[in-house]
């Protein structure tokens, strides 16, 4: 008999779940906040419900169960695992308990669970709008009461994608960060916690029959403080075996502390100077292309399909057949893993603020060696910003290689190939480009030493270049020719690519007979990379 699945979320991150359900012969009912979502045409029926309205989702699931028959509730890459567990409980489907899923959805409850169980995680305190309005002295008392000292991290209690998440170093920064975090919180609450230093990792796992199977372990690449922007991940991790085991032990302890027992779990975890510490554990699989793309490419294992089989109450035979037991014994779970067969790297590209006029070289990027996918997130006539969270990046590339370095290099080559040309006469673009070159955030594309910036601002003179004549790198910049921008394009490559665009007549200046390139041009190029240089030409 055909199985019926209720899927929460219809964006690109849920497409592998739709494909897995189709592969299993399921009928799919999709729920999403928005009516025009990518996966809607791929499903059998659609219901528009705000995904934050758990009770409406539960009522709808119960209605489907009673009137049409329903066999599972599922999500991947969203933060609505609590709604999945509540609906599953209502329909008597196997899933994490709603109590455990709530612990894994609310960062304050999560930290409290870890604290009671002795699982290493940062010191923390709850904050709300009243806390954000405290004056300096009261905020200082507030921090002392919880033994918190700068630097600190402020984040919403109940959101994902690094929305409203920020590093702070002072009381004045704390107050504004709290207001931002509370704005992104569905419940108007924020968490203030000690900053965890060290490299960060993502882990995916499936929990079944008292066993924990690791289904993905990746290095995360985080940039641009005071925000935490993931510019990609690479798997399998480059860490050594002993550290890997230590991190897995803490992950397993955290899962047990939250009460997760059936289904998916994912962690963001750090190797700090104090040892492994958990950032968060969620009762779902990873978004950010990990569970649906990079892990399947690296392992040949369809993780989403196996998670859906669990949600349907089935036996995960492929999971059991492909896993191997780890040598970790001191844990609440038997721990297994499905190892990777090759390396896979996901990388993002960024844009400076503005409205996209046209895009270049996406097809060329798709043809780069090792590249499996290119996912533009911002296209023509859409507005771009410099990201302060993980949903504001301009696009992503996924590549596969025989080792960590090769996969990373393949992805990096594709990222630096693509180019977004912005519309001229845009105030947001101009404001960004005219900021000082040593601005801390958003940073300049090329972060030069202060002495070089001083020479650039004081000594550069206007130079006129004839049609067809190549722009040459300034003498004071030549020793920084290999400096990379946010998208991995070097300073010399940026100038070369600008010359190629100009020679091909794709930007202003090639057919006009001459162009003037002086201090403003170089400021725009250093501040905004290739986008800044082309914006100069389009406006001047």
Do 497 and 533 have their domain in common?
yes
**End of a domain among 194, 226, 251?**
194
Domain count, the chain: 5
Mean pLDDT of the chain: 94
Q: Is residue 244 part of a domain?
A: yes
Contact in structure between 102 and 35 (CB atoms under 8 Å): no
C-alpha distances (whole Å) from 448 to each of 461, 479, 480 are 19, 11, 8
DSSP 8-state assignment for residue 484: B
End-to-end CA distance of the chain: 67
The burial class, CB within 10 Å (0-12 / 13-18 / 19+), for 395 is buried
Do 455 and 515 have their domain in common?
yes
Q: Which of 278, 337, 296 is nearest to 114 (CA)?
A: 278
Contact in structure between 246 and 259 (CB atoms under 8 Å): no
CATH code where residue 271 lies:
3.30.470.20
pLDDT at 512 over 60: no
**End of a domain among 194, 213, 232?**
194
Q: How do residues 114-157 score in pLDDT, each as one tens digit?
A: 999 999 999 999 998 888 888 889 999 999 999 999 999 999 98
Sheet order of strands, 72-74 included? 45-48, 27-32, 4-8, 72-74
pLDDT at 352 over 90: yes
The confidence score (pLDDT) of residue 504 equals 85
Q: Is residue 492 part of a domain?
A: yes
For the question of whether the overall pTM of this predicted structure is more than 0.75, the answer is yes
Do 386 and 484 have their domain in common?
no
How far apart are the C-alpha atoms of 74 and 29, rounded to whole Å? Answer: 10
**Token digits for 534?**
């082309």
Name the pLDDT band for 514 (thresholds 50, 70, 90): low
Q: Which of 268, 252, 400, 395 is nearest to 331 (CA)?
A: 252
Q: Which of 355, 348, 530 is nearest to 445 (CA)?
A: 530
Q: Is residue 108 part of a domain?
A: no
Q: Is residue 352 part of a domain?
A: yes
How far apart are the C-alpha atoms of 536 and 424, rounded to whole Å? Answer: 8
Q: How do residues 282-335 score in pLDDT, each as one tens digit?
A: 999 998 899 999 999 999 999 999 999 999 999 988 999 999 999 887 788 999
Do 379 and 365 have their domain in common?
yes
How far apart are the C-alpha atoms of 232 and 398, rounded to whole Å? Answer: 9
Q: How do residues 148-177 score in pLDDT, each as one tens digit?
A: 999 999 999 887 767 889 999 999 899 999
How far apart are the C-alpha atoms of 214 and 337, rounded to whole Å? Answer: 4
Angle at 457 between CA 454 and CA 463, to 5 degrees: 135
Do 286 and 398 have their domain in common?
no
Q: Which domain holds residue 43?
A: 4-93
């Amino acid at each position: 008999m055909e199985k019926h699945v209720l899927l929460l979320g219809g964006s690109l991150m849920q497409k592998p779940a739709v494909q897995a359900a189709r592969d299993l012969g399921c009928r799919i009912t999709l729920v999403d906040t928005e009516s025009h979502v990518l996966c809607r045409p791929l499903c059998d029926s659609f219901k528009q419900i705000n995904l934050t309205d758990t009770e409406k989702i539960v009522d709808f699931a119960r209605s489907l169960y009673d009137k049409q028959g329903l066999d599972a509730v599922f999500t991947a890459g969203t933060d609505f695992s609590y709604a999945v567990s509540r609906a599953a409980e209502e329909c008597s489907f196997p899933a994490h308990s709603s109590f455990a899923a709530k612990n894994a959805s609310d960062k304050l409850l999560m930290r409290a669970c870890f604290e009671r169980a002795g699982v290493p995680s940062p010191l923390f305190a709850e904050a709300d709008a009243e806390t954000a309005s405290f004056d300096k002295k009261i905020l200082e008392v507030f921090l002392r009461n919880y033994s918190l000292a700068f630097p600190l991290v402020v984040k919403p209690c109940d959101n994902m994608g690094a929305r409203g998440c920020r590093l702070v170093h002072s009381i004045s920064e704390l107050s504004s960060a709290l207001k931002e975090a509370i704005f992104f919180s569905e419940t108007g609450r924020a968490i203030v916690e000690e900053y965890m230093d060290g490299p960060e990792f993502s882990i995916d796992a499936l929990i079944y029959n008292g066993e924990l199977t690791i289904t993905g372990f990746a290095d995360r690449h985080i940039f641009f403080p005071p925000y935490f922007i993931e510019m990609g991940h690479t798997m399998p991790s480059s860490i050594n075996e002993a550290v890997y085991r230590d991190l897995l032990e803490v992950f397993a302890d955290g899962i047990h502390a939250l009460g997760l027992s059936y289904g998916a779990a994912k962690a963001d975890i750090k190797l700090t100077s104090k040892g492994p510490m958990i950032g968060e554990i969620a009762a779902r699989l990873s978004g950010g292309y990990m569970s649906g793309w990079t892990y399947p490419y690296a392992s040949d294992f369809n993780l989403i399909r196996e998670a859906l089989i669990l949600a349907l109450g089935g036996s995960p035979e492929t999971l059991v057949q492909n896993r191997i037991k780890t040598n970790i014994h001191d844990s609440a779970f038997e721990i297994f893993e499905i190892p990777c067969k090759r390396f896979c790297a996901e990388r993002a590209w960024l844009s400076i603020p503005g409205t996209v006029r046209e895009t270049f070289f996406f097809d060329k990027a798709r043809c780069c060696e090792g590249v499996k996918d290119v996912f533009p997130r911002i296209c023509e006539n859409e507005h771009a910003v410099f990201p302060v969270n993980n949903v504001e990046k301009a696009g992503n590339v996924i590549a596969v290689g025989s080792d960590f370095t090769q996969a990373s290099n393949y992805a990096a080559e594709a990222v630096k190939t693509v180019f977004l040309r912005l519309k001229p006469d845009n105030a947001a673009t101009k404001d960004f480009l005219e900021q000082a070159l040593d601005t801390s955030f958003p940073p300049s594309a090329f972060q030069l030493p202060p002495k070089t910036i001083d020479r650039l601002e004081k000594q550069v003179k206007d130079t006129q270049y004839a049609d067809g004549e190549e722009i040459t790198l300034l003498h004071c910049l030549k020793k920084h020719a290999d400096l990379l921008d946010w998208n991995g394009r070097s300073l010399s490559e940026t100038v070369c690519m600008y010359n190629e665009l100009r020679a091909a007549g794709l930007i202003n200046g090639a057919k006009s007979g001459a162009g003037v390139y002086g201090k403003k041009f170089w400021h725009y190029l250093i501040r905004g990379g290739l986008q800044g240089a082309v914006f100069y030409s389009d406006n001047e």
